[in-house]
Amino acid sequence: MDGPGGRIHLLEQGTGPLVLMVHGFPVTSYSWRHQLSAVAAAGFRAVAVDVRGYGRSSASGPVEAYRMTALVADDVGVVHALGEETATVIGHDWGSPIAADSALLRPDVFTAVAMLSVPYSPWNAMRPTDGFARLGGSEEFYVSYFQQPGRAEKEIEPDVRGWPAGFYTSLSADTMPPPGSDSPFFVPAGAAMRDRFTGGALPSWLTEQDLDVYSAEFERTGLTGALNRYRNVDRDWEDLAAWDGARLTRPALFIGGALDSSTTWMADAIAPYPTTLPGLVSSHILDGCGHWIQQERPAEVNALLTKWLHTVHS
């Protein structure tokens, strides 16, 4: 469908109250394949979008076209284009802050929000790139590594099957590096990010056919649109300064993986949920689970999501 920001491609199943699912990096709407049928069967209209810059959605425009306020506008545009006034929004990875900010900036449209892997963290006074620059000592944090246009593309785009596969594998519970290993999130001087990826077999949740779907999309689109999300962290910080310390009051759900760096590094964001997420219905940390929660543990995630959806729509 076409909206103010261009074309947004989506997958849809079921009828009932609208549930909008927003993916992260580096996947597509296909990452919600297990949830679409489960949410639809539970009595909802399940919709998974390709975020701007991914898949079959628009992937043009300058870097600033991928700022958070534009992606929130895309979410609102999808809801209205589907003939609805309100929706529940669910996000994973980068999709989690997109979902959270959609509910924060447009609570009139997004009446409940679920966040997977990346916890809600209110705006604070530190410029993001300044904070990232302090991490890692002599090594470069991956978000900093992604900042320069073309740099990460030069590493990833010659191998849009192998690079994502290495990234998925390195962050999956059954194939991630053992504790104490060098982190794939930090890049030594003169090295590539993939130098620290786990090799070997794919994680159990990812088939060669699944990888075919992801790699075919990135072969066609490239990675610039996807990486431009990271290149807007300072613009987002400037755009959202008026929401300094804002509480997210809509009914909320959080699901994290116990082995996911997003959960362990951001434990200080989870602890104050009673204050920052006063509408929190429930929060769950899945033992032995990595970053790709809804793909690694589809049955558990589906059960938690559908229970929560019925709670907030009762």
Q: Which residues of 90-126 are buried (b: 16+ CB within 10 A; e: fewer)?
A: bbbbbbbbbbbbbbbbbeebbbbbbbbbbbbebbeee
- Per CATH, domain 2-312 is 3.40.50.1820: yes
Please report the pLDDT score of residue 2 as a whole number.
58
CA 255: distance to chain centroid?
13
Q: Give yes or no for residue 5 having a pLDDT over 70.
A: no
Q: Give yes or no for residue 180 having a pLDDT over 90.
A: no
291 in active site:
yes
Q: What's the rounded mean pLDDT across residues 160-177?
A: 96
Q: What's the rounded mean pLDDT across residues 61-67?
A: 95
Considering only 2-6, 43-47, 181-185, 226-230, which range has the smallest mean pLDDT?
2-6
- CA dist 112 and 103 (Å) reads 7
**What are the residue ranges spanned by the domains of the chain?**
2-312
- Integer Rg of the chain from CA: 18
Please report the pLDDT score of residue 4 as a whole number.
59
Which of the residues 50, 75, 93, 260 is marked catalytic? 93
Per the model's pLDDT, the better-predicted residue between 104 and 58 turns out to be 104
How much of the chain exceeds pLDDT 70, in percent?
Answer: 98
- CA dist 307 and 296 (Å) reads 19
- CA dist 270 and 266 (Å) reads 7
pLDDT tens sequence across 195-239? 999 988 999 999 999 999 999 999 999 999 999 999 999 999 999
Please report the pLDDT score of residue 304 as a whole number.
98
Q: What's the rounded mean pLDDT across residues 243-252?
A: 95
Which of the residues 74, 92, 260, 291 is marked catalytic? 291
Please report the pLDDT score of residue 259 as a whole number.
97
Q: Give yes or no for residue 36 having a pLDDT over 90.
A: yes
Structure token digits, residue 209: 């056919």
pLDDT tens sequence across 86-139? 999 999 999 999 999 999 999 999 999 999 999 999 999 999 999 999 987 889
What is the average pLDDT value for the chain, to the nearest integer? 96
